[in-house]
Structure 1
Amino acid sequence: MGFQQGLSGLNASSKNLDVIGNNVANANTFGAKTARAEFADVYAAAMNGTGAGNIGIGVALSTVAQQFSQGNITTTENALDLAINGSGFFQIANVVRDPNAAPNATPQMDGAPMYSRNGQFKVDRNGFIVNNQQQVLLGYMADTNGIIAPQQARPIQLPTAGINPQATSGVQLEFNVDSRAAVTGPTATNINFNDPTSYNNATSVTMYDSLGQDVAVTYYMQKTAANTWNVYATASGTPLRTDGGGNPAPVATINFPTTGGNPTATGGGNIQYFMGGGGTSTDGRIPLDIPATTRPDGGTTLPITGVDLNMGSATQYGTVFGVTNLTQNGFAPGQLVGVTIDDSGVVMARFSNGQSRAAGQVELATFRNPQGLQPIGGNAWIGTFASGDPTLSVPGSGNMGVLQAGALEESNVDLTGELVNMITAQRNYQANAQTIKTQDQVLQTLVNLR
């Protein structure tokens, strides 16, 4: 009887249509992967392994294999949208949050991690990066200094509390003074900050105390002899150093070599400093202490001690005065204003004080046999014995793909191909139905024999 063969063909064609229909339904699902129904023929087993019957008894669904080819990448307006360009899966997890725990406490993962190619992420109320199912994104967390070390993957949380202030401890002052400049000092009072003729050049930098309060520090360069310059400094208008009579005194004297190069270069140059015990600097660094000052708004700043002022890159050439680098490492407190993610998965938090600091790094997973992963819905898979254990690493390392922020990976479903496959599956269904109809007609003919 051919009924069994035809029935198996109808079942196989119906399951093939189910797979095709699911592919078409997910043609616009980000991170979805197309599936393919794979079939195998079925033969009856002969007694003792012998027999001459070579006619099969139908077809069976062997497996539904997902195809993990790369989908098209489309750009978006959301900085937390992530696309993997290459191999790898995001690690996501369900979490259990203790209602009595602090808002920024790390939640406990509920079960094993899941894997997804859908990068539609957002930030929840506690600062964790989550998807639409409120599953957290896993990766490495950075310490308070923004340093990331490989560790066991955990939920990535942004620093919603902001960034604490940092007192200035170092200043880099790189400049050129004009070797042609006239000698302007010293005078009877050394220098008058309100009289530009008593000094040659000046520049300012904003420094910060331990509370993040800004202090305007101004440096004045006064040429006292050929190749010799005094450096004065004021904090909010108050001289950092005075002589015995209360007059401003230099904090350092720069003796340039006759070649006009850096004071620490060969040729007799050096920097003599008069604060922090006094002495001669061999590397261009001198110590400074900034006393408490009165702010323009009437407040008082805290003292800033142990500042390392580096003027070792100063030069004296026959060109106009110019500052080529003026930096300091302090900053005011700031609040989180934005997030960027680079192609290696490093999550950079941007703060209102202009600072940026690494908050974490996304960790990806790959499998030797990704087709062995089991789909569980919600654009996610779980590992199985067939898939093997995951290989974990950061994006861009080894065979891992790179991340593209502000982009999403589209479904890899070829809609045109699926529609053609649908027509083919429909015709196969009709053909199998025809074999049953024909077999029925043959059987009816036999029954009607007299």
Structure 2
Amino acid sequence: MSFGQGLSGLNAASQNLDSIGNNIANSGTVGYKSSTVQFADVYANSRIGLGVQVSRVSQRFTVGNISNSGNQFDMAIDGANGLFRLEQSNGAVLFSRNGQFYPDKAGYLVNAQGHYLTGYGPGGSQLERLQVPSANVPPKATTALDFKPNLPGGAEAIPTTKTQQKVDANGDPVFKPKLEPQLDANGNPVLDGSGNPVMEPVMEPVMEPKLDANGDPVMEPKLDANGDPVMEPAMEPDMETVAVNVFDPKDPTTYSNAFSYSVYDSLGNSHEVSQYFVKRPANAAGESVWDVYYMEGSTPLSPASATLTFNGAGVMTSPNPATVNLTLANPGGNASPADDLVFDVRYTGTTQFGGEFAKGKPYQDGYATGEYAGMSIDKDGTMVASYTNGVTQRLGSLVLADFSNLQGLSPVGGNAWAETGASGQPILGRPGENGLATIKGQAVEDSNVDMGQELVNMIIAQRTYQANAQTIKTQDQVLQTLVNLR
């Protein structure tokens, strides 16, 4: 019986050494979980045991150190609960803690064994294989431009009209009869049928030059044949109101400030829309008035202008709501025909305070097409693609699996485990939810093998092996002694 006990001890110690050796060999394997051999004694119907047996090989699912890798497709499970859900080409499902992935020729994220990483599609809850995009992100036409400038309250108003004397075709000044209200016998103004004063020319004597007693020229009223002064209508300059400072984007004297910003049409073509701000004289309500002109190059938008007003506190009072809807018709022309570009300029927050013209932080929501540039992953498992135009796009979200009994999982190699009846069904969820661990991008989880502990365990297993071998040797000597008895 002692031979059997020793042999069982040798076998158990050998398997323990195998486990320790496997741990040491995988000390550099990403996501590896070290294993521990557990033993049990063997008894029959006797008070003396029959030796030892390996009852199970358990794995320690403690978390390994997280190391930054710099690889955009690497990811580490930062916590104890959770395994990546992988799918083989035949549809079989495996689970792993190794987060080293790369895109295959079709763009699907796979590990070194060719297993597909799975998760949820953008905004969905259906499990699918996660894929890195290869096509350009489509352009988006601008629908709104948020612009909150400060218009300088101390800017000098630019008048729109001035009054001047008319001139004729020869450039000579034009005059008109001077009028005054007609009076009745009581000296009151005569009114017409509309209640307006009846106007009549102001008459004045015609003056003519004569010589006085000393022979010097003097002006005296001209007399008619009856000796009465000759009268004629009095004349005054004929004045007119003409437009001045007519807006011209090429003439900086016709506007106070200007601002240009790029917007995008339905094909992603960029168009530089310029806004020209012109301070005008205050209106009848005492409010400050600014005219804004909209141009794309030399082409006016529709409407071509708008008016902003501000109260004495510098707060914009109109338009209300503070939005101007603009249209740029046929923005691409015949070379690159695109849909009419219709977008809002939103002035909410615009002020007129003392100081300089300030542009604030303008923002427009359109963009041109862009090529795929890279990928990042958030701690909640959301995979985000970035493009050369600065746009980001969600690719989907990782799914993690947890089990009621991790020890029931069956190791299948390749840093993976398979579900068994003992493990129970996987409990799936997004990282960070329902107790699941979070994700760290561009990082991997190192092996949790404690090299120092494994070396100590190896010494103990070696001594155990030697001791069991010694029991066999001793039993052999005892048996030899019995054989030599005469």
- Verify: 1:75 aligned to 2:68, yes or no: yes
From 263, 276, 286, the equivalent of 1:220 is 276
Displacement of 1:225:
2.4
| 1:35 equivalent in structure 2 | 35
CA distance in structure 2 between the aligned counterparts of 1:17 and 1:294, rounded to whole angstroms: 75
Task: Give the drift of 1:343.
Answer: 1.1
Map 1:22-421 → 2, pairs under 5 A: 22-44=22-44, 46=45, 53-86=46-79, 87-95=81-89, 110-142=90-122, 148-149=123-124, 151-186=125-160, 188=243, 190-226=246-282, 227-241=288-302, 249-250=304-305, 252-261=306-315, 263=316, 269-271=317-319, 282-293=320-331, 299-300=335-336, 302-421=338-457
Structure 1 residue 428: deviation in Å? 0.6
Residue matched to 1:50: none
Return the offset for 1:141.
1.5
Gap runs ≥5 in structure 2: 162-242, 283-287
The 2-side partners of 1:160 and 1:229 are apart by: 48
Determine the structure 2 residue equivalent to 1:436.
Answer: 472
Mark the structure with the bigger radius of gyration.
2
Q: 1:190 offset after TM fit, Å? A: 3.1
Q: CA deviation at 1:435?
A: 0.7
1:352/1:129 CA distance change after superposition, 3 Å = same
> SS of 1:4's equivalent?
helix
% identical aligned pairs: 44
State the Cα deviation string for residues 102-140 of structure 1 (Å, max 9, x = none): xxxxxxxx2332111111111112111111112111111
User: 2:443 & 2:26 partners in 1: Cα distance?
Assistant: 18
Aligned-pair CA distance for 1:293: 4.5
SS for the counterpart of 1:197 is helix
Structure 1 unmatched ranges of 5 or more: 47-52, 96-109, 143-147, 243-248, 264-268, 272-281
Give the alignment's TM-score, normalised by structure 2: 0.79
Determine if contact 1:291/1:302 at 8 Å carries over to the other structure: no
Shift of residue 286 of structure 1?
A: 2.2
Instruction: Give me the whole-angstrom Cα distance separating, in 1, the residues matched to 2:339 and 2:147.
Output: 21
Root-mean-square deviation (CA, aligned residues, Å) is 1.6
Q: CA deviation at 1:173?
A: 1.1
Residues 1:224 and 1:79: Cα distance change in structure 2 (over 3 Å): same
| Distance (whole Å) between structure 2 residues aligned to residue 293 and residue 238 of structure 1 | 10
Aligned length: 398
Separation in 2, partners of 1:133, 1:186: 77
SS at match of 2:458: helix
Moved over 6 A (4+): none
Aligned-partner SS, 2:21: helix
Which string of whole-angstrom CA distances, capped at 9 and with x for unpartnered residues, describes residues 202-229 of structure 1? Answer: 1111111111111110011111123111
Say if 2:302 and 2:327, in contact at 8 Å, map to a contact too. Answer: no
8 Å Cα contact 1:90-1:117 kept in structure 2: yes
Cα shift at 1:300: 4.9
Label 1:225 to 1:303 Cα distance change in 2 as closer, same or farther (>3 A).
farther
CA contact (8 A) 2:332 2:338 kept: no
Instruction: Give the partner amino acid of 2:266.
Output: S
1:13 aligns with 2:5: no
**Distance (whole Å) between structure 2 residues aligned to residue 310 and residue 330 of structure 1:** 15
Q: Is the 8 A contact 1:10 1:429 kept in 2?
A: yes
